[in-house]
Amino acid sequence: MSLLSLKKPITSLVHPKSQNLDEGLNLESFTDDIVANYIYVKHYEDEKFKIDIDSYILLVESIIITADRITDSISRVIEGRIAFGNDSYAASLNLPLCTLHRISSQLACKAAGIEKAHETTMEILNILINYPWEAKAILTLAAFSMDYGDLWHLNHYFKTDPLAKTLATIKRVPELYKHLDTPKYRQVFLSPKCLIYACMQAIKYMKEIKDISKYDMKEITELSSAIRQIPLITYWVIHIIVASRTQISAYSTANQGQSRKYLNELTEKINSILFTLETHLKDIRERQEEIKLYKWLVDHIENHPSQLSGVVSKLIEGKNEATPFIDGSTHRKVRIESSLRRKNVVLVISRLNISEDDIKALREVYDELSREDKYRIVWIPVINPHDREEENRKRYNYVASKMPWYIVQYTTKIAGWRFLEENWQLREDPLVVVLDSMSKVEFTNAIHLIRVWGSEAVPFSHRKIDILLESDWPKSTILKFTRHSRVIDEEKSVIFYGGKDPNWIQRFEDKVINIKNDPLIRAKGITFDIIRVGKNAMGKDDPTVMSRFWTTQWGFFIIQSQIRGSSASETTEDILRLISYENENGWGILAVGTLPVLVGRGDLILAVLEDFNKWNQILNLKSFPDSFKDYFNEVALRRHQCDKVVLPAFSGWIPMVVNCPECPRFMETGINFKCCHGKTHM
């Protein structure tokens, strides 16, 4: 008969040919699914049957510990009276005595072996059908402790009380003496790691989990998994209590007791249960502390700003005074409280792969801030605990050596990780947050300010940003990535250009030369410059320059969108259009001085240049930029193509709604799934 085919709770679990205890079932036969099929039909919880679990735990613990003191004194031949505790609280318990007696009756005089223990466990669950799961376990242990305590209480007064002597003799208590020092007895009782004490601990853990679930079930996701384990754990606690009670009966009646193999399996089982519960509780307690810290940070940063040093310490380690910083300029340790007193702070939160360009830009900001003693920069490293420790430390030391400001000492855990992710939106990219001396946030997206304007962004105020945004964006984000050192004539037409395809670049440059040499252009005295973007100081194409170029464009777009709205001006649309061309063969920006006229995809720009003879007569009526733009719009209308933009994993605020730069509609927002296995989780 297959175990999986069993339906009825009390049907025998032992094959008819396997009657020998040593050759019968073992605990491996009792999978979670099989046990669950039995126990859930024995549970109809009723609010009227709730009990004070904590008081029962105190009562049962008092009985068992006192009884074990008596047995321990007998084992070590210690004369004298045992000191009993004050258990006056027991009188206030409204014990369900009839229920406890019924359980006690089920526990008494059972045959040894796993099958009988299972059947008895199911009978007890039937008696306790309306009680909560953890109540079933503690009531069973209470019934056991009544019998166990009674036996050793009679023994304690054996020599002084004739009635106790008579009752002890009837219950064969003296027979237990012979077994007190045997390994089996110590495996079940007395030892701190014995089965009964382990069951008591499991009940305490279950009670703690249930108590937490009353308040934090939604926020502490680990609770659901722990709660699901409680019915199965209750079954095994009762099963072990049944098997332990059978062992006592065997000592008293000289019957065959539990096999060593079975007791060892039960010990492994309860140890596994305790490990599972302890793991759950460890995760739950850590989550509770995380929630508590998160709420504290929200309250003290967003609602009621308070002393900066305390907030920074809590953010890093969850303590009022965290580990001292390392002063990057002196390499000495400095206390957080004294180093940040009455200062504003620039928090640089980044992974160990922070770029050399970002460090260089931050160095410029550091030098500018050093002119006045109002700000401190603090680097908080985000270190992946799953990476090799040696590599992490090596990279940490290298990055730290480049920083003259305050540095948080090496750690793979940031206490306020949830706040960083949820409130400041820390992602893969560095996050730079500016706080005043009372921890009020001045700016959360300062990394983009620094990438675009460097030290000019100081002091990171919104007024300063408004002034910076008044400049034409090519002047702020493009000129620095060209080799053009002269001041651009504000009246002269300029085409900034770049792209991934050298053939497109060559065709563009050839067409420009042809147009510049065109008789009509010469006759009208029309001149315009072309400026290549992406060459290094040696005049060669440099992918790293272009990488910084695109990062800067994104930075300007995000700042512009955050301050003025993503659809507030042509500027944001022009930049977004340019960003969408990052992987195109080519692109161009027509400007007058640094004032942009149009931004176009490479094929459109090239088509306008190739079709010069089709629109050159417009030059008799309009300027070169206007003529170019008019024909460009005609070509773009014929070759209409909306754009796709993939937003990098920037930290901080990012726009959630963006207009398509090629049409008036909002761009669709998709969902991108990406495995982050092995990435840092604090």
- Output the average pLDDT for the chain: 81
Whether 581 shows a pLDDT value over 50: the answer reads: yes
Enumerate the H helices of 485-615 as residue ranges: 502-516, 519-524, 543-564, 570-579, 602-610, 612-615
Long-range CB contacts for residues 164-168, cutoff 8 Å, separation at least 24:
none
For the ranges 329-333, 482-486, 535-539, the maximum mean pLDDT occurs at: 329-333
What confidence tens digit (pLDDT) does each residue in 102-152 have?
998 898 878 888 889 999 999 999 999 999 999 999 999 999 988 787 766
Q: What is the pLDDT of residues 171-181, one digit of tens each?
A: 666 666 566 65
Number of compact structural domains in the chain: 3
With a cut of 70, say whether residue 364 has pLDDT above it: yes
Q: Report pLDDT for 275.
A: 94
Picking from 531, 533, 529, 520, the residue whose alpha carbon sits closest to that of residue 493 is 529
The amino acid at residue 474 is P
- What CA–CA distance (Å, rounded) separates 161 from 56? 29
Residues 486-506: what's their mean pLDDT?
87
- Same structural domain for residues 457 and 483? no
Whether residue 274 is found in the same domain as residue 328: no
- Residues 381-438: tens digit of each pLDDT: 999 988 899 999 999 999 999 999 999 999 989 999 999 988 998 888 899 999 999 9
Q: Dihedral, CA atoms, 349, 354, 358, 363, nearest 10 degrees? A: 70
For position 168, what pLDDT does the model report?
Answer: 63
Q: Are 164 and 68 in a shared domain?
A: yes
- Chain centroid, CA 433 distance in Å: 21
- State which H helix or E strand residue 124 sits in: helix 114-127
Cβ-in-10-Å burial (0-12, 13-18, 19+) of 615 comes to middle
pLDDT of residue 216: 66
Please give the average per-residue pLDDT across 578-604, as a whole number. Answer: 90
Residue 518: left if φ>0, alpha if ψ -120 to 50, beta else—which one? beta
DSSP per-residue codes, 263-291: HHHHHHHHHHHHHHHHHHHHHHHHHHHHH
Instruction: Give the HSE-up count for residue 49: Cα atoms under 13 Å, Cβ half-sphere.
Output: 16
- Angle (CA) 329 333 335, round 5°: 115
121, two tokens:
């466990």
Out of 441, 464, 487, pick the residue that ends a domain: 464
**Residue range 201-219: mean pLDDT, rounded:** 86
- What is the sign, positive or negative, of the torsion defined by CA atoms of 201, 207, 212, 217? positive
- Residue range 655-682: average pLDDT? 47
61 & 177 share domain: yes
Residue 339 lies inside a defined structural domain of this protein: yes
* 133, 274: one domain: yes
528-550, pLDDT tens digit by residue? 999 999 887 677 778 888 989 99
- Comparing 102-106, 346-350, 358-362, 540-544, the range with the smallest average pLDDT is 540-544
What is the three-class DSSP state of 541? strand
Name the burial class of residue 541, with classes exposed (0-12), middle (13-18) and buried (19+) by CB atoms within 10 angstroms of its CB: middle
The token duo for 64 is 């068992």
48-57, 145-154, 605-614: segment of lowest average pLDDT: 145-154
Distance of CA 398 to the CA centre of its chain: 27
- pLDDT at residue number 496: 94
- Main-chain phi, psi angles of 552, to 5 degrees: -65, -40
Same-domain pairing of 451 and 371: yes
CATH number where 451 lies: 3.40.30.10
User: Does 328 map to a domain?
Assistant: yes
Residue pair 347/312 in contact by the 8 Å Cβ criterion = yes
For the cut 50, the answer to whether the pLDDT of residue 98 exceeds it is yes
Q: What is the largest CA-CA distance in the chain?
A: 134
Name the amino acid, one letter, at 593.
G
**Residue 634 CB neighbours (<10 A):** 15
Per-residue pLDDT for 62 more than 70? yes
Rounded to whole angstroms, the Cα distance separating 600 from 473 reads 16
> Could you tell me if residue 653 is inside a domain?
no
Distance CA 218, CA 215 (A): 8
Is there a single domain that holds both residue 512 and residue 621? Answer: yes
Q: What is the mean pLDDT of residues 637-665?
A: 56
d(CA 553, CA 505): 21
Q: How far apart are CA 223 and CA 206, in angstroms?
A: 11
Same domain, 539 and 567: yes
- The structure tokens listed for 356 are 């050399």
Cα-Cα-Cα-Cα dihedral sign, residues 627, 632, 637, 639 = positive
Does residue 194 sit in the same domain as residue 139?
yes
Q: Is residue 675 part of a domain?
A: no
Alpha carbons 450 and 75: distance in angstroms, whole number: 76
Enclosing domain of residue 359? 308-464
The neighbouring-strand residues paired with 407 are 326, 379
- Mean pLDDT of all residues in 554-575: 73
**Do residue 494 and residue 455 come from a single domain?**
no
Mean pLDDT value of segment 654-668: 51
Q: How far is Cα 142 from Cα 460, in angstroms, rounded to an integer?
A: 67
Higher pLDDT, 672 or 381: 381
Average pLDDT over residues 597-601: 91
Q: What integer pLDDT is reported at residue 461 of this predicted model? A: 85
Q: What φ, ψ does residue 92 adopt, rounded to 5°?
A: -85, -10
CB atoms within 10 A of CB 610: 14
User: 650 pLDDT band (50/70/90 cuts)?
Assistant: low
How many angstroms separate the CA atoms of 516 and 520, rounded? Answer: 9
Rounded Cα gap, residues 435 and 548, in angstroms = 27
Does the residue 38 lie in any domain? no
Given a contact cutoff of 8 angstroms between Cβ atoms, the answer to whether 493 and 592 are in contact is yes
Residues 452 and 381 in one domain: yes
CA angle (308, 311, 312) in 5-degree steps: 85
CA dist list (Å): 429 to 135, 140, 269, 418, 671: 51, 56, 47, 16, 19
The reply to whether 447 falls in a domain is yes
Least confident of 151-165, 182-196, 446-460, 475-489: 151-165
Whether 129 and 242 share a structural domain: yes
Return the DSSP state at 593: T
pLDDT of residue 640: 63
**The Cα angle at residue 24 between residues 20 and 25, in degrees rounded to 5:** 155
Average pLDDT (615-640) is 89
pLDDT at 1: 33
Domain end residue (candidates: 464, 498, 523): 464
* Residue 257 DSSP symbol: -
Asked if residue 254 is part of any domain, the answer here is yes
Distance CA 324, CA 378 (A): 12
Cα–Cα dist 498/480, whole Å? 14
pLDDT number for residue 254: 66
pLDDT in the model for residue 360? 94
- Using 50, 70 and 90 to split pLDDT, how confident is the model at 644? low
Look at residue 22 and tell me if it is in a domain: no
**Domain end point (choices 415, 436, 464):** 464
Does the pLDDT at position 472 exceed 60? yes
- Identify the pLDDT of residue 91: 56
Please state, in angstroms and rounded to a whole number, the distance separating the CA atoms of residues 159 and 559: 89
Give the pLDDT of residue 161.
Answer: 64
Instruction: Report yes or no: 251 and 112 within 8 Å, Cβ to Cβ.
Output: no
Q: What is the pLDDT of residue 676?
A: 44
Looking at residues 376-382, what average pLDDT do you find? 96
Provide the Cα torsion 190, 193, 199, 205; round to 10°: 130
* Residue 290 contacts residue 413 (beta carbons within 8 Å): no
